[in-house]
Chain A
Amino acid sequence: MFSPLTHPRPAATIEISTAADVLIAQRRARVLAEQLGFARRAQWEFATAVSEAATNILCHASGGAIEFDADDERVEFTAIDTGAGIADLDRALVDGVSLGSALERGSLGCGMGAIARLMDGVTVETSACRGTIVRAYKRRHATARTFRSSCPR
């Protein structure tokens, strides 16, 4: 896990329980990135990654929340859910794998992969009993991307 941000701006938390919450999270993400002076494309990439995470919460878990945090260099979100955890994290990252519940059947199943591609760094902590925490950040000036995961079982 990367270290906590040193000069955090006022953080925001959005509970995710309906589709409307996903919309709110998307918009909040985009506005936050815009306020921080991110390029237009980066704003949308951040908002889309947040949307993926929020949609995952909606489809795979009973409930959860998206938290935002930012400093001068980067913007990050943390998606926390109380779902069943991701059984095989490495597989979940392969596009087209996650079938999810009947609700989401037929999705492209590349939500996690998409987050990894849209953001500069992603960490995933998942466990069967505690749910999943996805934390991802995006730098104002993109550099090489990192991906790390842990799966304590």
Chain B
Amino acid sequence: MSEAILNLEQRLTALEDSLAEAAAGRYHELQPEADDPLAAIELGVNLLTSALSKQIKRVEEVNTELDLRVAERTAELEQQLAERTRQTELIRRQQEAIQELSTPVLQLWDRVIAMPIIGVLDTRRSVEITQKLLDAVANDNARFAILDITGVEVVDTATASHLLQMVRATGLLGATCILTGVQPVVAQTLVSIGVDLDEMLIRRNLQTALRTCLLEMTRVGEEI
């Protein structure tokens, strides 16, 4: 070695510290104490660590920002999901309510119940209504069940078939089904289709149906 290096041990320690600091993202500037070869290294290390720490800081900033955005978006999505779930639940409950409200069972008289049917009578609804009807017949010991279809605008073959099934099922429980509320134009259409409702007991409206029930119960000597 041609030149002596001043405070070699101390300066090497300082270099080591500076590198360690840089690794942790902090910039610690070295102060060259002499104009010697080590000073050149110290300056070089200064340049590198300053650049490195700036990079690390920037990456950390970007990461923090990303984390923040991810958190924000997640919260947003969670909120949307919660809202969606709430709406789905609301729709489900409203559907249940509509189902319940659309097929009430009316106790018209002792052992005479009536069910107004509204809208369309698809398979699912027909099954539900039949279940309700049969439960009501069984629980109230009903003799007569009046199905009123005033609220069914269009009666097609499927509807007619569902009605026939209800009538048969009720008959199996020993009760009699009476169909009311067939609109004149519906009657004409049923004739055009050729649907045969002969096995159904049909009355013009609830009033005449109820009269039929009462007359029949009187006839067989039941208390009314």
Contact = CB atoms under 8 A, between A and B. Distances in A.
Interface of A: 19-20, 22-23, 26-27, 30, 40-41, 43-45, 47-48, 51-52, 55, 58-59, 95, 103-104, 106-111, 113-114, 117-118
Interface in B129-187: 153-162, 164-165, 185-186
Contact of B157 (A40, A44, A58, A107): A107
Interface in B111-129: 119-120, 122-125
Contacts of B164: 108
A111 B159 CA distance: 11
Residue of A52, A107, A111 with highest tally of chain B CB at under 10 A: A107
Given A30-B153, A52-B157, A107-B161, A58 B194 contact: no
Given A48-B154, A95-B194, A104 B123 contact: yes
Given A19-B122, A19-B124, A118-B192, 19 more contacts: A19-B120, A20-B120, A30-B153, A30-B154, A40-B185, A41-B188, A44-B154, A47-B154, A48-B156, A48-B189, A51-B159, A55-B156, A95-B194, A107-B158, A108-B164, A109-B157, A110-B157, A111-B156, A117-B192
B125 A19 contact: yes
Given A48-B154, A52-B158, A111-B158, A26 B120 contact: yes
Interface in B62-117: none
Q: Which of the listed residues A19, A58, A106, A108 has the most CB atoms from chain B within 10 Å of its own CB?
A: A108
Contacts of A104: 123, 158
Interface of B: 119-120, 122-125, 153-162, 164-165, 185-186, 188-189, 192-195
Given A114-B193, A117-B193, A58 B154 contact: no
A118 B154 contact: no
B119, B186, B189, B194: residue with the most chain A Cβ atoms closer than 10 Å: B189
Contacts of B188: 41, 44
A95 to B, nearest CB: 7
Contact of B189 (A20, A44, A58): A44
Given A41-B185, A55-B122, A48 B193 contact: yes
A108 B189 contact: no
18 contacts: A20-B120, A22-B120, A22-B122, A23-B119, A26-B153, A30-B153, A45-B192, A48-B154, A48-B193, A52-B158, A55-B156, A55-B158, A95-B194, A110-B157, A110-B193, A114-B194, A114-B195, A118-B193
